[in-house]
Structure 1
Amino acid sequence: MAKDVKSPCVSLCKLKHEVCTGCGRTRDEIKDWKSMKRKEQLHTVELAAKRMKALKKK
Structure 2
Amino acid sequence: MSHSERRVASPCVNICALDDEDICIGCQRTAAEITRWNWLDDEERRTVLARCHERARASGQLL
Higher helix proportion: 1
TM-score normalised per structure 1: 0.87
Deviation at 1:3, TM superposition (A): 3.1
Cα RMSD for the two superposed structures: 1.3
Q: Which residue of 1 aligns with 2:18?
A: 15
Aligned length, in residue pairs: 57
Deviation beyond 2 Å, 4+ runs, structure 1: none
TM-score normalised per structure 2: 0.81
Deviations 1:18-40 (A, max 9, x none): 10111110000000000011110
Q: Which runs of 5+ in 1 are unaligned?
A: none
Alpha-carbon distance in structure 2 between the residues aligned to 1:3 and 1:44 = 17
Alpha-carbon distance in structure 1 between the residues aligned to 2:46 and 2:6 = 11
Q: Which residue of 1 aligns with 2:56?
A: 52
Alpha-carbon distance in structure 1 between the residues aligned to 2:35 and 2:28 = 13
Alpha-carbon distance in structure 1 between the residues aligned to 2:57 and 2:6 = 26
